[in-house]
Structure formats: structure tokens, C-alpha cells
């Protein structure tokens, strides 16, 4: 494993842990200025400021979250991170299996594509799970 791959894994490990603090500014700081956050079932969000605004709105009713890394690997500037996102909100709680694919550039997230079942998340938020 190259030093770049090790550094990228360390950055994503820190980023995943940072979600537990629910600080949108801190989280957006992991992105390149023109970075993209793309929850695959929805539309991509482009630009660090837009990412910060999206995270602020998306997590507005979250009371607690812990993301557990199940597997993580890097190939060059791409990091694959399989997770179980355990989130408590004011409208429901969910344990959401996810796979994040992170394209890195100079130690920052250039693009994050997160794959998960939107119905699992939406069902939990409406009290269905």
C-alpha cells in the first residue's frame, strides 16, 4: 500500500468518525472547494458551501449518530468504505448499511458517492422500521 493510499484511508477514517459530532462545517472541511457529495438515490451536491448547507439540512433532526466502518480499502486516490450508519433522530432511528466511494485529491474529498437503500432510511424516518 502506498503512502497516498494510507493517508487517504486515514482521512476517510477521520471523516467517518467526525460525523458523530454532527458539525456540518467540520464535515464540509474534508471536501475540496469544488467537492461533490452524491447520495446515489438523490441528486449530487456540488461545492464545499453547498455540501455544508446540505449536511446542515439533512442532519437537522439528528440527535446522535455513530458510523461503524466494516471494511475500508484504497486503490490509488479512491477509497472504498463499507459502513453501518447508526442514527437517532427526532422522527425515527435507523441502522443503515452504506458503501461510500471517495475520490480523493490532495488530501481532500473531490467526490463522495454513497450507496444505500433510500427506502430503509425513509421507512425508519416515518416510523415504519
Top-confidence residue, 122 or 102: 102
Total domains present in the chain: 1
What is the chain's mean pLDDT, rounded?
A: 93
What's the domain range around 65?
3-125
Return all residues near 3 (Cβ < 8 A) that are at least 6 apart: none
114 is catalytic: yes
Residue 127's pLDDT is what? Answer: 63
Active-site residue (options: 7, 34, 68, 85) = 85
Active-site residue (options: 7, 95, 114, 117) = 114
Question: Could you report the per-residue pLDDT of 47-100, keeping only the tens digit for each?
Answer: 999 999 999 998 999 999 999 999 999 999 999 999 999 999 998 899 999 999
CATH code for the domain in which residue 92 is found:
3.10.450.50
7 is catalytic: no
Amino acid at each position: 500500500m502506498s503512502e497516498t493510499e494510507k493517508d487517504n484511508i486515514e482521512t476517510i477514517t477521520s471523516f467517518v468518525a467526525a460525523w458523530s459530532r454532527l458539525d456540518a462545517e467540520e464535515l464540509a472541511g474534508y471536501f475540496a472547494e469544488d467537492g461533490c457529495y452524491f447520495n446515489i438515490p438523490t441528486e449530487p451536491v456540488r461545492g464545499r458551501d453547498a455540501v455544508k448547507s446540505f449536511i446542515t439540512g439533512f442532519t437537522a433532526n439528528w440527535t446522535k449518530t455513530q458510523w461503524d466502518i466494516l471494511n475500508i480499502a484504497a486503490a490509488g486516490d479512491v477509497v472504498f468504505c463499507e459502513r453501518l450508519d447508526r442514527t437517532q433522530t427526532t422522527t425515527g432511528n435507523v441502522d443503515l448499511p452504506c458503501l461510500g466511494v471517495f475520490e480523493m485529491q490532495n488530501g481532500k474529498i473531490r467526490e463522495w458517492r454513497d450507496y444505500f437503500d433510500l427506502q430503509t432510511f425513509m421507512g425508519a424516518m416515518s416510523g415504519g422500521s
